């Protein structure tokens, strides 16, 4: 006997001008004996199953059918079917002939979490005993046609049809408890999250988790946080609070936070600020001063390259907080991979790293010879893949790791001395990122000779100069990086000479990538310059402005000092890429404001103004001339026309190594 309310039905399948996806899903959910397009209580229902269950397929948002669902569920068992594209193909076609022009796979991937975007439109229905919800994860084709009605060209390709390719999975939810099961069972009550607003990960949540037992209390994170509370003035997404009032709660939150996996590196847009911070840092909590200006650069570099880094660290601040053994802030990922770090002396970090480069190159050459020798036993395709992979992206690195893993399996089955020798060197076929770390005392002064030798060699090495403009670790002595007018040991009356231009010296070789960056002033420039430097298969040097407690500043607002340094022209941002026809690019704006206003906010300049005002004024005026002269020179270099001889003009002819 049929339930009351039916007064018309159609047993043949009809479409009612519906979309192809909608029609296909009706066929998917219909059971034997089902009827289509049945009128019930004044509404046309997509499918009525043989047992009387009403099935409504909705491919759009739930608001459009909210009233219909509310009426039907009062007297009838009702199931709402909602498709989510787990994989989608985008097909562009001619608007008139409908002939396909192109086909590509969309980078966006749907998941069950996307369901919650629509559930907020029908919250009361979830409590109804007659209501069930089925989510169909699908593979779809989305057809787009070109429309002339839109003003902006990027809006003219409009989706006008979705087609079902196949059903991936089907999930049935019979009540709120089933939906709650999608959430982690151990989620703390105080574990607050926000929507992660990005096209790459729709439906994701984000949380900025404080490590309560590791926080130094410097307050810098609060100062730079861009997310302000619109309801409470002076509050941000993160705020300084008394530790003991929140310690137990945040420890529980941290315990859960640590269980969350990092996303697949190959899916992350690492060349953006937001995307880069999804990558696991392999440099964590150091013993550096609270608010240290050096550690953010080291952390970022390990996020990009940490699982294949080799670091030669000069003695100084970075070696003390980086290797205060038996503790170390360097760590490993879930695969057990992390930076290989070592310190030799103060003066030889360049030579030390150069030796690492030579040793790795020798291992690569050795492994390549053995690969070619054993190609018939290992398989020509595998050998070709291992040798020809450029390893310039995370995806290519991942493929090389998989190929090396396969190589090891095949080598283990071979009873051959060459196979055993290759097995010992196989890991070197994965591109190593070789770095020398150190401060300005090393790079500008005591270790400069080693750097100069590396510049001339053109070998694939990366150099990070953490420029605090003073010998910070050894007591605050002046270095050749100390600016004119600053007070330091051995410069009690203010340093009389100008700062050495290390970047210009490196650029003079023509084959060295040079970048001058400031995390506080322009993090995007810093991020992209670091990535470009590492991708260059020759020598690269990054000179990073690293504020220091020795400057006599409030470390909580030190990043603002970096912004002012760039704004007044004291620290111009630029990069020099030998691969380009116009190698030099001046990346910061023309100076605004006086150097004096910037300098006197720091005790290293202000103390001279108090004790010897005339000397201070003279040196500050000379410092302003230094800025003006340097900016004029850099502007001239940036304005030079492109030359066919510019790109790689001075690069030594050498084989590119992995």
Structure tokens at 587: 């990346």
Question: For the chain, what's the residue count?
Answer: 658
Is 362 a member of any domain?
A: no
**pLDDT at residue 581 greater than cutoff 50:** yes
In a domain, 561, yes or no: yes
Output the pLDDT for position 644: 52
State the alpha helices, DSSP H only, in 286-416. Answer: 295-305, 317-320, 349-373, 375-378, 380-388, 394-412
Per-residue model confidence (pLDDT) at position 480: 85
Token pair 């697949």: residue: 264
Range 158-184 average pLDDT: 85
Give the long-range contacts of residues 299-302, CB within 8 A, separation 24 or more: 300/276, 300/519, 300/526, 300/527, 300/530, 301/435, 301/464, 301/530, 302/330, 302/338, 302/339
Q: What's the rounded Cα separation, in Å, for the pair 211 and 214? A: 6
Do 448 and 515 have their domain in common? yes
Q: Does residue 314 contact residue 413 with C-beta atoms inside 8 Å? A: no
Distance CA 12, CA 597 (A): 82
The Cα–Cα gap between 440 and 471 comes to 7
**Residues 617, 494 share a domain:** yes
Q: Does 549 lie in the same domain as 506?
A: yes
Q: What is the pLDDT of residue 2?
A: 32
Q: What angle do CA 608, 610, 615 make, to 5 degrees?
A: 45
Taking only the tens place, the pLDDT of each residue in 40-73 is 988 889 999 999 999 999 988 787 788 889 889 9
In this predicted structure, the answer to whether residue 246 has a pLDDT above a threshold of 90 is no
Maximum alpha-carbon separation in the chain: 105
Looking at the fold, whether 82 and 128 belong to one and the same domain comes out as yes
Give strand pairing partners of 83: 136
Q: How far apart are the C-alpha atoms of 627 and 595, rounded to whole Å?
A: 8
Q: Are residues 221 and 158 in the same domain?
A: no
Listed range (5-19, 291-305, 450-464) with the worst mean pLDDT? 5-19
Mean pLDDT of 271-296: 89
Secondary structure letter of residue 490 according to DSSP: T
Residues 60 and 135 grouped into a single domain: yes
Q: Is 57 within 8 Å of 26 (Cβ atoms)?
A: yes
pLDDT digits 0-9 by tens, 350-376? 898 999 999 999 999 999 999 999 988
387 contacts: CB under 8 Å, gap ≥ 6: 368, 371, 372
Residue 605 included in any domain: yes
Q: Is residue 555 in a domain?
A: yes
Number of structural domains (the chain) is 3
pLDDT at 654: 38
Average pLDDT over the chain reads: 86
Lowest mean pLDDT among 98-112, 143-157, 309-323, 427-441: 143-157
Say how many C-beta atoms besides its own lie within 10 A of residue 545's C-beta: 24
User: Do residues 563 and 545 make contact, with C-beta atoms less than 8 angstroms apart?
Assistant: no
**Does some domain include residue 318?**
no
Q: 192-203: per-residue pLDDT in tens?
A: 888 888 777 777
Judgement on whether residues 20 and 76 belong to the same structural domain of the protein: yes
Write the CA distances from 296 to 338, 431, 499, 520, integer angstroms. Answer: 17, 24, 24, 10
- Please state, in angstroms and rounded to a whole number, the distance separating the CA atoms of residues 36 and 14: 7
Please indicate, yes or no, if residue 426 is contained in any of the structural domains. Answer: no
Question: What is the pLDDT at residue 120?
Answer: 65
For residue 327, is pLDDT > 90?
no
What are the C-alpha distances in Å from 492 to residues 481, 512, 563?
16, 36, 27
Is the same domain home to 226 and 141?
no
Return the higher-pLDDT residue of 113 and 523.
523
CA 316/CA 468 separation, integer angstroms: 11
Task: Average the pLDDT over 578-606 and give the result.
Answer: 92
Percent of the residues in the chain that have a pLDDT greater than 70, as a whole number = 92
- Residue 185's pLDDT band, with cuts at 50, 70 and 90, is low
Residues 32 and 124 in one domain: yes
* Count of CA atoms in the C-beta half-sphere (13 A) of 254: 12
Q: Highest mean pLDDT range out of 119-133, 402-416, 562-576?
A: 562-576
391 close to 397: Cβ distance less than 8 angstroms: yes
**Whether pTM exceeds 0.75:** no
pLDDT-derived band at 233, boundaries 50, 70, 90: confident
Q: Give 305's contacts (C-beta < 8 A, 6+ positions apart).
A: 433, 534
What pLDDT, on the 0 to 100 scale, is given for residue 148?
Answer: 59
- What number of H helices and E strands is found in the chain? 22, 18
Residue 483 is part of a domain; what is its CATH number? 3.40.50.970
236 and 106 in a common domain? no
Q: Reply yes or no on whether the pLDDT at 75 is more than 80.
A: yes
pLDDT higher at 633 or 650: 633
pLDDT at 77 over 80: yes
pLDDT value at residue 652 = 39
> For residue 212, what pLDDT is reported?
87
State the sign of the Cα–Cα–Cα–Cα dihedral 112, 117, 118, 121: positive
| Distance, CA of 493 to CA of 615 (rounded, Å) | 8
Exposure string of 99-110, with b = 16+ CB inside 10 Å and e = fewer, is eeeeeeeeeebb
Q: pLDDT (tens digit, 9 = 90+) per residue, 372-405?
A: 999 888 888 889 989 999 988 888 888 888 888 8
Please report whether residue 68 resides in a domain. yes
Place of tokens 């294949």: 308
Domain assignment of residue 465, given as a range = 295-307+437-639
For residue 323, tell me if it sits in a domain. Answer: no
Answer yes or no: do 227 and 136 share one domain: no
DSSP state, residue 401: H
CA nearest to 509, candidates 564, 578, 600 = 578
pLDDT in tens, 529-565: 999 999 999 999 999 999 999 889 888 889 999 999 9
Distances (CA, A) of 205 to 113, 114, 116, 198, 260: 10, 11, 12, 10, 12
Mean local confidence (pLDDT), 595-610: 92
**Is the four-CA dihedral 242, 243, 247, 249 of positive or negative sign?**
positive
Which of 233 and 496 is assigned the larger pLDDT?
496
Question: 111: pLDDT confidence band, cut at 50, 70 and 90?
Answer: confident
- Of 292 and 204, more confident: 292
Same domain for 160 and 36? Answer: yes
* 513-517/540-545 β-pairing: parallel
The pair of structure tokens assigned to 164 is 């079902």
Q: What is the pLDDT of residues 469-505, one digit of tens each?
A: 888 888 788 888 899 988 988 888 888 999 999 999 9
| CB distance 478 to 468 below 8 Å | no
At 278, the pLDDT band (50, 70, 90 cuts) reads confident
- Strand-strand pairing, 433-439 and 340-343: unpaired
Phi/psi at 195 (5° precision)? -65, 135
Q: What are phi and psi of 120, to 5 degrees?
A: -65, -15
What crossing angle do the helices spanning 603-611 and 613-639 adopt, rounded to 10°? 140
Instruction: Check residue 195 and give its pLDDT.
Output: 84
In percent, the amount of the chain with pLDDT more than 90 equals: 45
Does position 3 have pLDDT exceeding 90, yes or no? no
Buried b (16+ CB within 10 A) or exposed e, 249-285: ebeebbebbeeeeeeebeebebeeeebbbbbbbbbee
């Amino acid at each position: 006997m049929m339930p009351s309310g039916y007064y018309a039905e159609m047993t043949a399948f009809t479409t009612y001008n519906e979309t192809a996806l909608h029609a296909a899903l009706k066929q998917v959910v219909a059971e034997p004996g089902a009827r289509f397009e049945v009128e019930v209580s004044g509404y046309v229902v997509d499918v009525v199953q043989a047992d009387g269950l009403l099935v409504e397929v909705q491919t759009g948002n739930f608001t459009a059918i909210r009233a219909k669902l509310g009426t039907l569920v009062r007297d009838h068992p009702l199931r709402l079917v909602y498709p989510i594209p787990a994989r989608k193909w985008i097909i562009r076609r001619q608007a008139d002939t409908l002939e396909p022009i192109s086909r590509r796979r969309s980078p966006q991937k749907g998941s069950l979490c996307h369901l919650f975007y629509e559930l907020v439109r029908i919250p009361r229905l979830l409590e109804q005993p007659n209501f069930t919800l089925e989510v169909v994860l699908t593979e779809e084709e989305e057809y787009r046609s070109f429309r002339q009605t839109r003003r902006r060209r990027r809006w003219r390709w409009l989706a006008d049809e979705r087609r079902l390719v196949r059903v991936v999975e089907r999930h049935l939810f019979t009540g709120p408890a089933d939906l709650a099961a999608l959430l982690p069972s151990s989620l703390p009550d105080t574990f607050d999250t926000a929507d992660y607003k990005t096209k790459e990960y729709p439906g994701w949540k984000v949380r900025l988790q404080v490590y309560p037992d590791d926080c130094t209390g410097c307050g810098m994170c609060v100062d730079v946080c861009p997310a302000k509370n619109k309801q409470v003035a002076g509050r941000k997404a993160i705020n300084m609070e008394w530790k003991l009032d929140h310690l137990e709660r945040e420890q529980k939150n941290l315990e859960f936070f640590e269980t969350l996996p990092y996303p697949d590196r190959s899916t992350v847009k690492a060349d953006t600020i937001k995307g880069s911070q999804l990558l696991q840092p392999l440099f964590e909590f150091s013993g550096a001063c609270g608010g240290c200006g050096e550690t953010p650069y080291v952390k970022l570099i390990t996020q990009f390259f940490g699982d294949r880094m080799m670091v030669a660290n000069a003695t100084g601040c970075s070696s003390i907080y980086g290797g205060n053994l038996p503790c170390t802030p360097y760590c490993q990922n879930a695969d057990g991979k992390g930076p290989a770090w070592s310190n030799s002396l103060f003066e030889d970090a360049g030579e030390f790293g150069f030796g690492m480069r030579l040793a790795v190159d020798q291992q690569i050459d050795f492994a390549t010879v053995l690969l070619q020798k054993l190609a018939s036993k290992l398989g020509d395709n595998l050998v070709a893949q291992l040798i020809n992979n450029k390893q310039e992206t995370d995806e290519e690195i991942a493929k090389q790791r998989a190929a090396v893993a396969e190589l090891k399996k095949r080598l283990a089955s071979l009873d051959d001395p060459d196979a055993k020798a290759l097995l010992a060197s196989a890991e070197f076929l994965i591109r190593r990122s070789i770095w020398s770390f150190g401060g300005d005392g090393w790079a500008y002064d005591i270790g400069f000779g080693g750097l100069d030798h590396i510049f001339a060699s053109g070998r694939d090495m990366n150099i990070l100069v953490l420029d605090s403009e003073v010998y910070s670790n050894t007591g605050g002595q002046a270095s050749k990086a100390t600016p004119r007018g600053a007070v330091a040991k051995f410069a009690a009356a203010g340093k009389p000479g100008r700062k050495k231009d290390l970047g210009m010296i490196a650029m003079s070789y023509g084959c060295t990538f040079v970048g001058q960056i400031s995390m506080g002033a322009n993090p995007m420039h810093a991020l992209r310059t670091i990535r470009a430097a590492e991708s260059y298969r020759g020598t690269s040097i990054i000179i990073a402005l690293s504020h220091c407690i020795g400057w006599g500043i409030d470390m909580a607002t030190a990043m603002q000092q970096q912004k002012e340094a760039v704004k007044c022209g004291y620290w111009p941002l630029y990069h020099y890429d030998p691969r380009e026809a116009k190698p030099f690019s001046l990346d910061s704006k023309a100076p605004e404001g006086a150097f004096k206003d910037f300098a006197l906010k720091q005790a290293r300049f202000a103390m001279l103004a108090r004790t010897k005002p005339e000397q201070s004024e003279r040196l500050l005026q000379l410092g302003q001339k230094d800025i003006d002269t340097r900016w004029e020179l850099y502007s001239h270099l940036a304005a030079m026309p492109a030359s066919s001889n510019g790109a790689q003009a001075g690069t030594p002819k050498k084989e590119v190594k992995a």
